[in-house]
Structure 1
Amino acid sequence: MSHDLTRAGLLGLAAATVAAGMAGHDARAQSGARMHQRKIASSGEMLPVVGCGTWRTFDVGRQPQDRAPLAEVLAVLFAAGGSVIDSSPMYGASEGVVGDLLAAAGTRDKAFLATKVWTSGRDAGIAQMKKSMALLRTDRIDLMQVHNLVDWRTHLPTLRAWKAEGRIRYLGITHYTDSAHDELERVLRAETWDFVQLDYALDDRAVERRLLPLAAERGVAVIVNQPFGGGGLLRRLLPRPLPAWAAEIGATSWAQILLKFVLAHPAVTCVIPGTGKPQHMRDNVQAGLGPYPDAALLKRMVAEVGG
């Protein structure tokens, strides 16, 4: 059985199992069905806590059968109160697919569009960012990030100029591996950024030591990629029954447990699990509702699940 089918098949069972324990739902939960939001420190703007990554999942052709599920993914995200869609020139056709879907649905105004510059050299960076804007069908990008630290010193002056001109709203820096954390720390200390995007998961907690505290200290909003441990952790957990404590945080699936672990950290602003499946998006957005683990439960999660 495939990973996708396994996760989809277990969602209904997990929801039924946990529902009985939800009658005394924790008072820490926010009221209402709209997704929680957190403040972008550099501006005070509020940002929904669960977004959507597009690596691999949105790299499809023009066939309606390939794009229809992705249109539904975005519709589910927006209906839940989410807005962040993260892409990159590195992600194949993803930018163009996102742009086409938003244009077709007339929902550009609902999206917080984040993409990246991923090349070396000033002129190449400018050309690439202009192409991204064209593919995304917009004259303003909400967040432009230097992807994986590539030639960031060269791109930073352009990003600052474009922000001053209103062509981008925020600027950021990204990486996704532990091996880059030392350099990422140096970059965060050396310059002023609105956002940093990094890897963080229940089985990948290296950023807790220095990078997350540093981001909070420097007033840098944090977007988390790979919240499922690159997918391996979620696959390992799917066959296991949900623990009894899942009901304490309103979680009805392992995906929600992993996302709520990440969102429990006060430095985290938004998490962007990637998916091209509407049923997975419906599951993921539920992590933006209800309470999050307290310190005692976080320790238990690490001991029982994190390895």
Structure 2
Amino acid sequence: MSATNRFNGGLTRKQFLAGAAALTAAAAGGAFGLLGPTRSARAATLVERAVPSSGEKIPIIGLGTARVYDVEAGDPKLPELKATVETFVREGGKVIDCSPTYGNAEAVVGRFINELDARNKVFYATKISTNGEKEGLDQVNASLKQWNTDRFDLLQVHNMRDFGTQIRTIRRLKDEGKVRYVGVTTSSQRSYDRFVALLKSEKLDFVQVNYSLMQPESGDRVLPAAKDAGLAVLINRPFALAGTFRKVKGRKLPEWAAEFGDRTWAQFFLKFVVGHPAVTCAIPGTDKPEYMTDNLGAAMGPIPDEKTRARMLAFWKTL
């Protein structure tokens, strides 16, 4: 999405980019040494939520990698993408979500994390997205190699594909110490009935589902069921594939958004999502350091309560 669409009239694009560029320059001047990125003071202010099955806390804003990190070796975008991941780690982000089906994303992000010596600073979530036991294990082994690691924090059955086979594989890997958490994903409203049935009947740690102001349907069915089942929830597509930005192009944030710390549309959209009591972490995709800083701003300050979220949704419906 364009930078113009992300920023409101109270904070100009020029002002925000200048501030973010200063942070990035400071990091390049000393925050990243031989031991990789160090945490900034800002990292300590990020709101965290607990994974119900363990009590482990993770920041409420993570990083999705579909599409934008699928680039070839030598692509001119690589330095900026690496700077984005550097910014994410330095400013306290942890959850990075990927998949073998995201093209080169696992190789690209895995390389960045290894070059930054940041594997122990991130919570790495990936997926099995194929049919068959052998094929699933082949994907897992390839992902382990891409990340130069011996375990995943979270391994998910992607879009419930061959669920029975792949969930058995993931549970076996968990028993072997190669996986810490077990999960399943969807991003399609058409699959919600089956998805809810699975999360009610299967022993899981995480579920991942789409949710946004533009596509709020999972908030009525999936998210309450996940909360009742005691599951951590990752949110994909919190910007509805940039659809939320397109809808507000040329518009200013409502003045009352400042009551819960929002300075940009991105923060408005993300705070609506993470304000849902079932949500553990939203994983917006981004490819620019300044956007990463902007997104992580949604994990700072007050989080909207149900009354405020209802106001946000009502406002959205007037657009």
Q: What's the TM-score once normalised by structure 1's chain length? A: 0.90
Equivalent residues in 2 for 1:1-307, closer than 5 Å? 3-7=1-5, 12-13=11-12, 34-63=45-74, 65-306=76-317
Residue 147 of structure 1 deviates from its aligned partner by 0.4
Mapped to 2, the partners of 1:210 and 1:7 lie a distance apart of 31
Change (3 A) 1:32 1:171: closer
Contact 1:144 1:170 in 2 (8 A): yes
Change (3 A) 1:119 1:280: same
Mapped to 1, the partners of 2:250 and 2:236 lie a distance apart of 23
Runs in 1 of length 4+ with deviation above 6 angstroms? 14-17
Mapped to 2, the partners of 1:101 and 1:272 lie a distance apart of 18
More displaced stretch, 182-191 vs 70-79: 70-79
Where does structure 2 lack aligned partners over 5 or more consecutive residues?
Answer: 17-41
Letter in 2 for 1:140: R
Encode CA deviations 1:102-144: one digit per residue, 9 max, x unaligned.
Answer: 1111111111111100000111101111111111221111110
Change (3 A) 1:9 1:182: closer
Mapped to 2, the partners of 1:219 and 1:297 lie a distance apart of 25
Residue 304 of structure 1 deviates from its aligned partner by 1.1
Aligned residue for 1:285, secondary structure, equals helix
Encode CA deviations 1:39-91: one digit per residue, 9 max, x unaligned.
Answer: 00011111111010000111111226321111111111112211111000110
Aligned residue for 1:89, secondary structure, equals coil
Contact 2:43 2:92 in 1 (8 A): no
Residue 14 of structure 1 deviates from its aligned partner by 7.0
The CA RMSD over aligned residues, in Å, is 1.9
Mapped to 2, the partners of 1:240 and 1:95 lie a distance apart of 36
Mapped to 2, the partners of 1:243 and 1:106 lie a distance apart of 41
Change (3 A) 1:62 1:42: same
Q: Percent identity?
A: 40
More displaced stretch, 291-300 vs 88-97: 291-300
Residue 6 of structure 1 deviates from its aligned partner by 2.1
Residue 8 of structure 1 deviates from its aligned partner by 6.0
Mapped to 2, the partners of 1:296 and 1:265 lie a distance apart of 11
Q: What is the count of residue pairs matched by the alignment?
A: 292
Mapped to 2, the partners of 1:93 and 1:173 lie a distance apart of 22
Residue 5 of structure 1 deviates from its aligned partner by 3.6
Aligned residue for 1:113, secondary structure, equals strand
Residue 209 of structure 1 deviates from its aligned partner by 1.7
Change (3 A) 1:32 1:9: closer
Change (3 A) 1:15 1:44: farther
Change (3 A) 1:125 1:73: same
Contact 2:187 2:209 in 1 (8 A): yes
Residue 9 of structure 1 deviates from its aligned partner by 6.5
Where does structure 1 lack aligned partners over 5 or more consecutive residues?
Answer: 18-30
